[in-house]
Chains A and B, each alone.
Chain A
Amino acid sequence: MTLIKWSDEGGTVRLGLPSDLDLAMAQPLLDSLRAGFAASGTVVAEAGAVERVSTACVQALVVASRHAAEQNRTFAIAQPSEVLAEACEDLGLDGWLKQWSQA
């Protein structure tokens, strides 16, 4: 299992999303989100560096947000890059991103 870069700061897991969130990165991202929620009640995905994004990775983030909502956990997408924002808009998930990037 490969995990993407993360840190645990005072009970908050911060995942540093890589610049290339392509299809191959979907599994590491998913594993990291699972591990993050296993380790903490609060997971923040740092998305400022994202320059390329696949639907598979966006889907993993959406599933993470639903998981947080259902399990009363906290999840946020911090500083989404312009590319991520555009991809979410294309996918009809701009409202979702807005919601979770403000959480």
Chain B
Amino acid sequence: MEDLSRFKQTYFDESAELLEVAEAGLLRLTPGEVDSDEVNAIFRAVHSIKGGGGAFGFTELVAFAHEFETVMDGVRNNTVPVTTELVDTLIRANDLLGQMLAYAREGDPAPAGTTDGTVAALRRHLSGGAPQAQAPAPVPSAPAPAPVYADDEDDEAGLFGDAMAAIAAARAEEDPVPPGKLRWTIVFRPRSDLLMSGNEPAFMLRALRRLGDATVECHTDALPTLQNLEAELLHLSWTVTLIADADVDLDKINDVFEFVADDCDIRITAEAPPPVSSGTSPVTDPVPVAAAAPPAVAVATPEAPPKTPGADAPKAEAARPRPNGGGAEHAGLTSHTIRVDLDKIDRLVNMVGEMVITQAMIAEHVRELPPGEFQELLEGLEQLAQHTRELRESVMSIRAQPVSSVFSRMPRLVRECAATTGKEVQLVTSGETTEVDKTVVENLVDPLTHMIRNSIDHGLEGPEERERVGKPRAGTVHLSAQHRSGRIVIEITDNGRGINRPKVLSKAIEKGLVQPGATLSDEEIDNLIFLPGFSTADQVSNLSGRGVGMDVVRRNITSLGGRIGVYSTPGEGSRFVLSLPLTLAVLDGMVISVGEERFVLPLTNIVESLRPKAADLHGLVGKCDVMMARGEYVRLVYLHQLFGIPGAVADPTRALVVLVETEDGARLGLVVDEVLGQQQVVIKSLEANFRRLDGVAAATILGDGRVALILDVAGLREMSRHMDSRAPRPPSSPVAALPAPALEPV
């Protein structure tokens, strides 16, 4: 909603496809052999174009599409007979609709009378051959019907709600927007079950009235008959025209619909005051929204005076210049995007991955060339490496999507959870535009849903309890996303009571998950909630408490190559941190060797590599070795110990220490034999090809054809905590002993 131009682009792309659908259907439309499915498809195509056009305020386009659609409706209702002449008229109408779209895309008004001839022809068919200047009058014996809108029960595009056809016609005759004001058009189409969730449209419409001078139109055309009406299902929709001060922005309007965003289709367009023409006083007030939401209604210009309905314009129509040169087809309406099957993209991603491997192999061979020779070849290969990297990034960006598609589902969830638990909850989101691989986005829904439910159900206190402890009655859940260290980090933070550690620990002991008398750190206790079957809820609620949640959340996140951590402060709240890879295909890594084995460390985790002096090394009695690096102690992790690799260099003063950092800022020193060099590697899932391994994120194929494991730094940290990672060393080892408390936390 914030970026209308993006939706507009989508609209034109969709419309181009719909025009093709309509044309193909019209070409198959044969008198005497009418296929109702075909007719419906054409109707839906035209209807969808009209609907979207209305949402963007393409007045003339909508008016014309309405005429086209009305005839198609007659065809599908068998009130307009299909004749060769009709089909010709409809094909012409379809071409003209393409031209109208092209004008709209260019931001130009269609020349006066562009559609008149075709409209007249369409109306002749509608009235059985007799000229028909106006739409049918209301039935005299009955009260005037509500404004006529075609419902979009079958909106094929799915992107655009009902058209604002009636507004379009009315607007053309309206006064221009007063200076300093904005005219908003809000199309509000609730889902039929909106009322059942306790929402009341009248309140929202009343709230809109408070923002300015509002005119509300109710659309009743989708109402069923008295016999078919289900009392609690809503079939009304509304269009609100709001003239408001410039300080009323899109956010303020969206706020009105905050709680029903997922339960309705809302289209908002803005119209600024008209440009100043000579002889009129200048418009002094800038209109801040104009850039984001271009004027929705084309203002009449000397080149395009208001047309006279019914004017005889067939000849004018033929002579009209068409945007972009125009042809008989949908002139100028070229699409700026294409839809591509996801499989094709994935094949492309795979091929780029293979290309990366091949490039690495070539680079490996080139190293063996005599120094100083084949300079041009080396430069060419360097360029190839650069292009490969750019190609990789471009391909990956195709699969990238903003997390907003997931975040936008959460307000409704929060609202429902708040209603179920009787708590007052405010959801704050940030970083919605952060992009990540499509697969990651799609797999975020369930974990986030569960964690937010958990935060509300377990974390936040009830309003009375919060007041007692001096907190605001409403608790806050903050959902954020950001790029950090080449990964996406998503945090769910609440300001509730925090994890009840004594309760968690006693529950874990009761369930046999922890030995009685075991001493666990706060962090270790917090992490117990991720154990399978763990729940502290005294009562099983609808939301959580069945103990099947957080372990599944962790498993889901891990299967995406991600990690989850929890940080809690009693009385202040909890913070869940998800760290996920941006892409699941390739990464920049550093190849290291340990004994005869090769590993890859993600480049984003590496701080530096160094060979420590004996004086920098210390032993933490009964725990681990640490190294003094840049003023702080860092735990040493001996990879050969963790993975049981023989023949590795065990003495850090003779080996290398690669200083790495996890997403949460914790540092480790990995003891390795050698650092072999930087390389772009293709990620091959270990789970899919073998099984998950602790401390290993995935596998890859190196330039020399060997398989290497890609290390998971945070996983290594966890592994090292659960084993005594002190290197066996001779008695003369220079490693000095340190008292344990000096090192917490590492």
Contact = CB atoms under 8 A, between A and B. Distances in A.
Interface of B: 139, 141-146, 195-196, 200-202, 205-206, 209, 215-218, 220, 223-227, 229, 231-232, 234-236, 238, 240
Given A54-B195, A92-B216, A29 B205 contact: no
B142 A63 contact: no
Contacts of B209: 90
Contacts of B220: 62, 66
B231 A29 contact: yes
A33 B143 CA distance: 18
A93 interface: yes
Nearest to A89: B216
Give the interface centre of B146, B200, B218 by most chain A CB atoms within 10 Å: B218
Contacts of B235: 59
A103 B234 CA distance: 25
A7 B238 CA distance: 35
A6 interface: no
17 contacts: A23-B232, A27-B232, A30-B231, A53-B202, A54-B195, A55-B195, A55-B201, A59-B234, A60-B231, A63-B226, A68-B142, A89-B216, A91-B205, A92-B238, A92-B240, A99-B144, A100-B143
A12 to B, nearest CB: 18
B445 to A, nearest CB: 30
A65 B227 CA distance: 13
Contacts of A29: 231
Nearest to A56: B195
A87 interface: yes
A26 interface: yes
Interface of A is mostly: helix
A45 interface: no
A70 B234 CA distance: 21
Interface string A42-60: 0000000000011110011
A17 B84 CA distance: 56
Contact of B218 (A26, A66, A68, A93): A93
A90 B202 contact: yes
Given A91-B216, A92-B218, A100-B143, A56 B227 contact: no
Contacts of A23: 195-196, 232
Contacts of B200: 54-55
A88 to B, nearest CB: 9
Could you say which of A60, A65, A90 has the most chain B C-beta atoms within 10 Å of its C-beta? A90
Given A23-B195, A99-B144, A67 B205 contact: no
A55 B233 CA distance: 10
Given A27-B231, A72-B141, A63 B236 contact: no
Nearest to B219: A92
Contact of A90 (B144, B215, B216): B216
A55 B234 contact: yes
Contacts of B146: 96
Given A27-B232, A55-B234, A99-B144, A37 B218 contact: no
A39 interface: no
Contacts of B216: 89-92
Given A34-B226, A69-B141, 5 more contacts: A29-B231, A54-B200, A54-B202, A90-B206, A99-B144
Nearest to A57: B231
B236 A59 contact: yes
Contacts of A90: 202, 205-206, 209, 216
A13 interface: no
Nearest to B215: A92
Nearest to A103: B143
B195 A63 contact: no
A42 to B, nearest CB: 15
A15 interface: no
A78 interface: no
Q: 7 nearest interchain CB pairs?
A: A69-B142, A92-B216, A92-B218, A26-B231, A67-B226, A27-B231, A30-B231
Contact of A63 (B206, B229, B238, B240): B229
Contact of B205 (A26, A53, A92): A92
Contacts of A64: 226
A63 B146 CA distance: 11
Given A59-B236, A91-B216, A30 B229 contact: yes
Contact of B143 (A60, A63, A99): A99
A99 B141 CA distance: 13
B201 A91 contact: yes
Contacts of A30: 226, 229, 231
